[in-house]
Structures are given as C-alpha cells and as structure tokens.
Structure 1
Amino acid sequence: MGKQVLDQQADTPESTADDARVGKALRRLRRDKGLSLKELALKSGVSVGMLSQIERDLANPSLRLLTQIRTALGVTVSDLFDDAPPPAADPTFVRRADRRGWLELGYLSKELLSPHAPHNLQFMILHIPPGSTSGDQPLSYPAEKGGMILNGSLILKVKDREVLLHQGDSFLFDSLDPHSFRNPTDETAQVLWIIGAVRVDRQL
C-alpha cells in the first residue's frame, strides 16, 4: 500500500518574480523525471493539492517540505536554483561572483556558491530575515552540514541542544540528527551553509 499523503501547510508568498523560481524549478524537475503530481505525492508524502499550489507559486514550501520533494525527485539542492552555465572561457570548477544562482523561498533566500558542475559538496549563503525560521518541524536527512555565521546571529538547534551563534562562529553536524534554526534578532543573518553528501552505506 502506498505511503499515506497528508495535507501540509505552507506560507502564502508575496507576488514577486523571484518567488516564482521555486515553483518553476520543481515543475521542471518533476516533468524531467516523467512524474505526475499524483506519483510525486506518493513518493514524497506531500499532498497533490500542496504540490500543485507550490508549483503554481501559490504557496512557499517549508524547508522540510522542500527536502521531502527534493528527495523524492532524487535531485540536489543545487538543482533547484535558477542557474546559468558558466562562461565558455571558465573551467567548470569556478563560479564567478556575478553569476551566483538565487533561490527565493519567501522566508529566506539562498545564494549558490558551488560551481555549476555536479559535486557531492554544495555550499551557499543563506539570507535569513529577522524572525524567520527553518519551519515548525525539524529537518532530518542523510548528509553532513556545516557553516559559519557571516553576519548577524542565529539560533541553531541540533537534537536537544540549542545554541546562539554570532558572526564568526562555525558549526558542523550530522544532518540525520533533527535540526532547525531561527533568527531571533532584528537584523538579517547571513550564513555560509555547506552540505556534504554521505556514503551510501550510511544511508542503509
């Protein structure tokens, strides 16, 4: 019997061109995989109605929902970005500062630093506005995460430990451990965010 699909809540986005990137990327990736909305719903545990709203930019997915959808599609975080190929003169291991991909989720923005070519290591800058969080439910999936606070402050919670991090503080943890973050200040936080793939045997 297929996985039960439950309705989830997501934030309603403001009407901006940037917010449309998330829905467009997810719709493109789903179609590239040859999946219907119903098939993706069964694989991800996200309802057909919610998937449809997200793809049409009527709702912003939380990071947890985005992770469920991304995992079901078998794609990386980098695949979600509106990302142009590098100039022909540049090697594939370089990303120029003026060619960074952006992903707008409404409650935070991601700025892609990793080069265009696929790699197991991905890194980006998270721009987290005052009061924004990673969502009501903690995140958990096979990976390693690390980073450093570039500007502002951030509360990071991993399992049952919560810590307030300031500019210059760094961190590293197993992403299988339930984790979340929030910006408790009135200043936008900028965080260098690194995601490393784990060995297949750790996922078994």
Structure 2
Amino acid sequence: MNERITPPDDGRASDPHVGSNLRNLRKAKGLSLQRLAEASGVSVGMISQVERGLANPSMRLLTSLRRALNISMQELFGDVATAAPSNADPHFVRRRENRPVIDLGTLHKELLTPTDRHHLQIMILRLEPGGESGGKALSYPAEKGGLVLAGKVMLSVDGEVAEMTEGDSFVFDSVRPHFLRNSSDAPAEVLWIIGAVQFDRHL
C-alpha cells in the first residue's frame, strides 16, 4: 500500500488524539512500527507520521491499521467503556454531545454507536469538497449501507459508480472494492453503517 504523506488542506495537523490512540494501542499489543507495517501494508514512515499527528490518514489507511491491530471501532476513536454512575444512560444509548469524532482533514468521522462493542457500527461521515475515503478502493469482509443526509457524493463499488444526493440510500458487500468521494463544491454528510465485520467478532 502506497500512501502519500500530505498536510491537511487548511494547514492543520491531523487530530493528535487519533495518533496517540494508535501509538498506545500498538504498544499495548507489543508491536514495533516495523511489525505493524508488515501486518498492515502501511509504511513505517506513514505510521510514524500518523502517530505523531503530522499526517492526515485516509479511511482506507485507518481501516488497514485497525484490522492489523485487531481493534474495535470504539478503540480507534479512543472511546473506552468505564464504570458508569448510577444515573447514567442505559448502555445502548449514546447522547449527541458524547459522540467521538476523528478529523481526517477533508473527511470527518463521527461515531454514533454506543461504547459497548457491537458488530454493527454507525457513523456520520462529513466530506468537505474533494474529500474522499482514501482514493484507492477498500475491500474487506463486511456489509455496508448508508443514507445521504446532505449534499452530493459519488460511490464506486467494484467499478460501478453512482452519483447520489440527499435522501438516496445504498447497501453493498464490502468485499467488493469501493470508495466514496465528494466531487461537488459543497460539504456532504452520509449516514454510514458497517455490519458483520468478521475480524471484530473475536475481540
């Protein structure tokens, strides 16, 4: 996997929280940068840049690292379950103000799924103009679906391309190579659902 190291378009470094999470999780697994690079197909240099908050990782790159580390989506977001006070919400609820967010420059991922680990993951993807899921197609075991909440996006699945606008929905097998892109001049939002991710079943 070849990833270009580029700064965010607005000159900001990537969310350092993502990088520090990855570094801590890698160390907790007892993996060196080299071993994680071999397992994920991401270069040592790119992993180091991400961990130090010097590069904006794509969704594709984060997926590769998450799979190699065998971690849940919540762990990637730094969303760890803790003992809840007696007046806390039920475990199946996540309040709007408690949604963790990963800022990937032109792509923002907001986790809607509660803290408990689930095979079903629900997010809101916010794509700025030109934002995309990584440029190159993703492919791994999962069911994916979604709903365009605002704006326009282009979804490519196994070479088939669909231009979608607000209110349009989709479902596909994630084993088929795919990527998402906002080619318009306005921001877009997509409700993004991932189900039955096999490598999470053993966590």
TM-score of the superposition, structure 1-length normalised?
0.88
Alignment of 1:39-50 (within 5 A): 39-50=35-46
1:68 aligns with 2:67: no
Runs of 4+ residues deviating >6 angstroms: none
1:15 aligns with 2:8: no
1:116 aligns with 2:111: no
Alignment of 1:182-197 (within 5 A): 182-197=181-196
**1:142 touches 1:198 (CA, 8 Å); kept in 2?**
yes
Report the alpha carbon displacement of residue 10 of structure 1 after superposing the two structures with TM.
3.1
Report the alpha carbon displacement of residue 19 of structure 1 after superposing the two structures with TM.
1.6
Alignment of 1:92-111 (within 5 A): 92-111=91-110
**1:113 touches 1:123 (CA, 8 Å); kept in 2?**
yes
The code of the aligned residue for 1:15 comes to R
2:139 match: 140
Taking the aligned partners of 2:196 and 2:6, their CA distance within structure 1 comes to: 29
1:58 match: 54
Report the alpha carbon displacement of residue 82 of structure 1 after superposing the two structures with TM.
3.7
2:31 match: 35
Distance 1:171 1:32, change over 3 A: same
Taking the aligned partners of 2:197 and 2:63, their CA distance within structure 1 comes to: 16
**1:10 touches 1:62 (CA, 8 Å); kept in 2?**
no
Taking the aligned partners of 2:19 and 2:178, their CA distance within structure 1 comes to: 25
**1:63 touches 1:134 (CA, 8 Å); kept in 2?**
yes
1:162 aligns with 2:144: no
Q: Describe the superposition over 1:173-199 as per-residue Cα deviations: whole angstroms up to 9, x where unpaired.
A: 000000011111111101000001245
Report the alpha carbon displacement of residue 164 of structure 1 after superposing the two structures with TM.
0.7
Report the alpha carbon displacement of residue 76 of structure 1 after superposing the two structures with TM.
2.5
- 5+ unaligned residues in a row in structure 2: which ranges? none
Report the alpha carbon displacement of residue 160 of structure 1 after superposing the two structures with TM.
1.7
The code of the aligned residue for 1:45 comes to G
Q: Describe the superposition over 1:50-81 as per-residue Cα deviations: whole angstroms up to 9, x where unpaired.
A: 11111111111222221111110001333211
1:3 match: none
Report the alpha carbon displacement of residue 106 of structure 1 after superposing the two structures with TM.
1.1
The code of the aligned residue for 1:27 comes to R
Distance 1:142 1:10, change over 3 A: farther
**One of 61, 74, 77 as aligned partner of 2:73:** 77
SS of the residue aligned with 1:67? helix
Taking the aligned partners of 1:49 and 1:135, their CA distance within structure 2 comes to: 18
TM-score of the superposition, structure 2-length normalised?
0.88
**2:149 touches 2:166 (CA, 8 Å); kept in 1?**
yes
1:90 match: 89
